[in-house]
A and B are shown apart, each in its own frame.
Chain A
Amino acid sequence: MSKPRIVVIGGGAGSAAAVAELRKQGFGGDITLVSAEGTVPYERPPLSKEFLLGTSGLVPVKDAAWYEQESVELLLGTRAIRVDLAARTVTLAGGAGLGYDQLLLATGVRPRVLPGVDGDGVCYLRTAGDAAALRDRITAAGHVAVLGGGFIGCEVAAAAIRLGKRVTILEALPTLLYRALGPELGEVVAGIHRDEGADVRTGQQVLGVRSLPGGGIQISTTGGAVDADVLVVGVGTVPNSELAGQAGLAAGNGIKVDECFATAAPGVFAIGDVAAQQLPGSGGRVRVEHHDTAIRHGRVAARNMLGQREPFRDVHWFWSDQFDHTIQSAGLIPGADGTGELVIRGSLEQRSFSAFSLDGGRIRAVISLNRPKDVLDVRRLIVRDHRASAGQLRDESLPLKRLAAPAVPATFQARA
C-alpha cells in the first residue's frame, strides 16, 4: 500500500504552520505544498512595513532547507486549477494531476480591484512581488497617493512618509480605520497621520484615474483632483474561493468550514483568510484575515486532518505598526449589529488607550493604541471566567489581571 498523501494548496504562513504541525505530530506520509508564488511561504506582515522601509528583506517562515529535511515536496510557481472531490485529485496548470488522501485549501485572498483603477503607476499589495514593485515605485516617487484608509493603506502611508515622501490618503468613509475602530478612535489615527505630515482627505469618493502625459497619475475625487507619482490601492480583499466553488464546495464569501476546519467533502479542509467559520458569539460566518489566526488555524487543522476533532477556540489577535505607534486587538470587536458598550482606559489625547467591548459584565474584545500589555491581559481574560465593570476598566490603578475570577480551591468546590 502506498503512503497517504496530504496536498496543501496555497503558500501563506497558515500552510507552512500546517505542514510543520503535520510533521511534528508524526505524520510520515507524503506532503505536497502547491503555491502559485515562486518562493517558500514567508512572513506577510512586514510587506507593508519594514520591507517597504528597506529595514527587512523577505523573511521565510521556514527556509527552503527545512522542507527538504522534512521531506515536504514544494511545487512553487504552480497554480492548482481544478479539484475533483470524487476522484480526490488536484489538476495543476499545465495539466499534471496530483492525487490526495487529504486536501488543505489555504488559498487566501487577493486585493479587491476597483474597476477602472489600474494601469501604470497603480499598485495593489498582497504578495512579495507586489511589495518589491511597490517599494521601487515609492523609492522613485515624490508624491505617493494612497486610496483606502484601512490597515494596508495606513501602513503603506506611514512607510512612505518615513521614506521622506509627500503622502495623500484618500478615504471614502468619515475617517481612517473607520470599520475597525469606529469614528472616535479612527480619528485619533487620522490625527497621527496628519501630525506626521500626511494630507488625509476623508469622505471623498474616487471618480476616476488617468495616466498623465509626462508620467504620473491623476486621481479625480468628489473633493477635487490629486496628481501623484504612484497610487497605492488598499480597499479590501476578495477570497480566493473559486477553486473550491468549482469543485462543488460551499464557497460564497469564503470556503464554508465547521469549527474543526472540515468542509462538507470528506478529507477536505480549509484554513486562513479564505475559510469562513461560524464563531461562538458571532451572528454569522466570518472570515478572519489575521496573520496569527492563519498560523493557529494551520496547527489545529493539521491535527484534525490526522484524526482529532479539535474545535478552534483561540482568541483572534492582530497588530498594526504605524510610525512609532502600535495598534493591537484581541477578540472580535462587534460590528454594527453588536451589543454591549465601548469603555476607554487611558487617554485618546495622549494616544495611549485601550477600548474594551464590554457585554454582560464580560470583556468580549479590546483594541488598543500603544498599550500592548492590556491586550495581552485581555487575551487571557477572555477565555477565563472573569467579571468586569466599566468603572474597573477605566481605573488604571487596577491591574486587568485582577479581573479574573479567583480560582476556587478544590476543597470548597467539593462542598459547593
Chain B
Amino acid sequence: MGVPGLRTPWASIAKIAVGGEHKGTGFLIAPKLLVTAFHVVEGADGQAVQVIGLNFNPNAEHEDGRPAIETEATLLPAQWSREHDFAIFECAKSPNAKPLVLTERCRRMRDFLSPGFGGQDPGGFSVTGSIASLNEPEETGGPVFGLQLDSGSGVLVEGHSGAPVIVDGRVVALLRTAYLDEYGGTKGGLIRATPIRHVVESCNNQNPGILRYNANIVWPQPNLAIAPIVADRKNEFHEFERMITGQSQKRVLLVEGGSGHGKSVLVEEFKKYAQRLGVTIAIANLKSERSIDTVFRSFQFSAGEDAIPQPEDGEKDSYYTRVIDHLSSFRSPFLLIIDTWEAAPDDLAKWVEYQLFPQLDRMPHLTVMIAGQKVPAPDHLDAETVVEHSRLGLIPVVDDWLDFCARRWPSVPIVRQHVEGILFASNLQLTPSQMYSNLDTVQRILTGNAASGAAR
C-alpha cells in the first residue's frame, strides 16, 4: 500500500506504446531513465525494440491541469535483461517528474500498490495486494516475488506489465507475469514480479553508480583519489564503498581475522574514507569500551546527539530501542562501526543481533561494519543478500605490498627485491601487521632515519 497521505506517483509512470500500440507500463528510475519489463518491448525478432513511445499524465497526480507529456525513448545499450525481464530506456524529453525511490528491502506479507495501465482501465488504475513470497522459483532470472492481489480473479492486467510494485512509498519490484484465465483476467490473483535489485545490480555492473537504492537519501559519490591506503583488501573496499554510496543491497560488513591481520587498520582506513565522503559515523572499539553504556556513549561522542540521542534520566533498556527509532528517522548516510567484537558484552551482542539486525530495513541509510577475531552470527538477517562476511588472511602477494609501499611512502625507493626478500625470508608467514612493521623499518633505513648501534 502507499504511504498514507502520499499520492500515487502517476507523473512518474508512463503508458508504453510500441509501434503506436499500447503494450505496457514503465516508471522513472532516474530523471530521464525509465524501466519496463523486457517482454513489453520485445519485438517479433525476439530482440528489444530500440524506440518506444511514452505518455506521462502528471495531472493524474497533481490535479492542476498539467498537460500530458509524450516523448520517445531509446533503449540503453546493454541495460536490459531477458533473464530478469527488464529493459531501460532513455527519454528524449524530460518528463519533469521525480524518479521513484528504489529499495532492496522488502518483507513477506507487506501490502503493496501497483499503478499501471492494464486493460481493466487503460486510463490508469492501481492493483493492490500483499507480498506473498520473496523466493518464488522462475524459469529464468529467479527467484522472483510472488504477489497476491486483493481483488483475486478477473482483473484485466494485460498492459500492466512493467508497473512498479510499491511498498511504503518505495519500489521493490516490477510486474512480470500473471496467471490469466481464458478471458485475460487474473486467475486467483496470482502475479509475479522481478525484484528491483536485479535491475539495480545488473545496471550497476555495466555502469557503476547509474542506479541507487533509496535515492531519497543523498548518497556520496565514490572518490578513488582518497581511497584507503591498505595492502590488498580490494574486495572488502569495493563492497564497503558500494554500501556507503548506496549502490549495494548489502548492509553489514563483517571483518573477521586473527591478531595482526589488519582488522583495526582496515576499520581506521575505511572510517577515514567514509568520513571524507561526508558519511556520519558512530564508532566504538570494545577493546576499551567494555559495557553497553560506554559503547553507546562512544557512539554518541563520535556521531553527535543529532544521530544518537542521550539517555533520559532513569531510562534503561528502553533507551537502546529508542536509539533504533531515532536512527530510523535519520536521513543521511550513516556508518556504525564496532571493532574488537570478541569482547562484546552480552547485552550489546543481543542488541545488535536481536534489535539492530532485524530492523535494518527501517534504516536504509545505515551501513554496519563489525570487526574482530569473532563476529556476530547473522542468524537474524538474510545473510546471503545483506551480509558481506570477509575473513582476513595473510597477504602473500608481492604486488599488493609494492602497491601499498608506493602509496604509503611515495618518495621511498622500496623495490620488488625488498618486498620479495621479506616475504620469502619469513616463509610467507608474516602477518600483515608484521609485514608492515618490517617494511616500515626498511623505509627508515632507506631514508636514513634509522638510529645506529641499537642492535640487541
A, B co-complexed? no
Which residues of B are at the interface with A, using a C-beta cutoff of 8 A?
A: none
